[in-house]
Chains A and B, each alone.
Chain A
Amino acid sequence: MENLFFSLMTDLLNQTGLMSITIGNIIMIFVGAVLLYLGIVKKYEPFLLVGIGLACIVANVPGSELTKEGGLFYYAYQGVEKLILPPLIFLGVGAMTDFGPMIANPSLVILGAAAHLGIFVALIGAKLFGFTLAEACSIGIIGGADGPMAIYTTMKLAPHLLPQISVAAYSYMALMPLIQPPVMRLLTTKEERQIIMKQPRYVSRLEKIVFPVVIAVIVNLFLPPVAPLITMLMLGNLLRESLCVDRLAETASNALLNIVTLVLTVAIGSTMAAETFLTPNTLLIIGLGLVAFVFGTGSGVVCARIMCKLTHGQINPLIGSAGIASVPIAARVSHMVGQQENRRNFLIMHAMGPNLAGVFGTAISGGIMLALLAH
């Protein structure tokens, strides 16, 4: 009787995940807990980190069926793998974004290209560490600070690196309020950070309606590899600006975007299983991603500083870092650092111009990489 009891208990124990948990699983569960802490307690992009953190923890519990074929997280990941979710995210982002600040100040769009030096520093760095050129490009695009674009490019060039690259891209985007300010302060003077910029001009409804149509045509004409993403971004924006399909714009920017974000974060977190994630390459990719963010922030600030000199102090160099994309996180960081220097300085609208241009900058970089390599 006693033997039967112990035999049954052993069988029960063997059916749980307790017997197959590894040190790697424990480390990744800790990583997931840190992401949850940063999201919930520190409020660093909780919309991203809460889903990623919990899915990371669940993906490393050995008994979990959620990430296996047939599980809900597995199907969430299919949305990423089949490139369905990134364009839908862009649709929602377009529907909630006012491109007025970018249209109002065309001279600032150059910062959207300048702040992408980090992409190429990380690309060359990855090549030096022995990655293939396609893998290096996927790693470099982390520096574009654009999650959907990073996923899209990686799925075309180096799909096996998707877990590491998407986690690095989204984690660093969430941590931008920590990464960017020291670089911004290092490369600017106190006087420059206090510059108050002129109010941007009024942008008419006609301009806002024509903008997405023109950009969609340009991107489809010159950058077909990334056209699905930018076209959806522009469709979302046209829904918003046309003012005649409010329900569609409202759905795309709220309900749809929330649902897709939820599915996307869960999908990314579910790829963080210890056996695929805890490799030396992951550490390299995460390190190179940080290098890309730092250099991108720095190059954007330096370019804005040059523009500041050329315009005799009319441009606050802090807005340069917003050219790295990651709308609107990078613009908020510019605004926050500006406010710390001068409470009356409201840089958010000025920073949104380069920030939005950064989306196109990343798309252009990714599009050129895909055009040259994805064949």
Chain B
Amino acid sequence: MNTLPDTISGALILSCIDFVLSFIFISFIGVILYFFPKMNRLGEIKEKKN
């Protein structure tokens, strides 16, 4: 397994990878949420508690 160098450049590489991937993952969640209203066509669940 490749390891990040324990140097400033390692910190910079890790920060860049992490920051970009955070945006990608969060955007992915956002895209999934964008389609959530569509599932309401499947039916509804009553709000009443048992």
Contacts of B28 in A (CB 8 A): 218
| CB-contacts of A199-255 with B (<8 A) | 201, 203-207, 209-211, 214-215, 218, 222-223, 243-244, 246
A/B pair count, beta carbons within 8 Å: 119
Q: B18–A112 contact, CB under 8 A?
A: no
The verdict on A165 contacting chain B, using a C-beta distance below 8 Å, is no
Q: A120–B45 contact, CB under 8 A?
A: no
Min Cβ gap B46→A in Å is 7
Q: B40–A107 contact, CB under 8 A?
A: no
| CB-contacts of B36-50 with A (<8 A) | 36-37, 39-40, 42-50
Given contacts A127-B10, A206-B39, 9 further A-B contacts (CB under 8 A): A106-B29, A106-B33, A109-B27, A133-B7, A136-B11, A365-B18, A365-B19, A368-B18, A373-B4
Q: B11–A205 contact, CB under 8 A?
A: no
The 4 A-B pairs at the shortest CB distance, nearest first, are namely A120-B15, A106-B33, A127-B11, A113-B26
Number of interface residues of B (CB under 8 A): 39
13 contacts between A and B (CB under 8 A): A106-B36, A110-B23, A113-B23, A120-B15, A133-B6, A205-B44, A205-B46, A206-B42, A223-B25, A243-B49, A360-B26, A368-B17, A372-B4
Chain B: interface secondary structure? helix
Q: How far is the CA of A113 from the CA of B44 in the complex (A)?
A: 32
Number of interface residues of A (CB under 8 A): 48
The verdict on A158 contacting chain B, using a C-beta distance below 8 Å, is no
Chain B residues within 8 Å of A, Cβ to Cβ: 1, 4, 6-8, 10-12, 14-15, 17-19, 21-23, 25-34, 36-37, 39-40, 42-50
The verdict on A117 contacting chain B, using a C-beta distance below 8 Å, is yes
User: What 1/0 mask marks residues of chain A from 336 to 367 whose CB sits below 8 Å from any chain B CB?
Assistant: 00000000000000000000010011001100
Min Cβ gap B33→A in Å is 4
Q: B40–A109 contact, CB under 8 A?
A: no
Please pick, from B4, B8, B29, the residue contacting A124 in the complex, using a CB distance under 8 A.
B8
The verdict on A375 contacting chain B, using a C-beta distance below 8 Å, is yes
Q: B19–A116 contact, CB under 8 A?
A: yes
Q: A123–B37 contact, CB under 8 A?
A: no
Contacts of A364 in B (CB 8 A): 21-22, 25-26
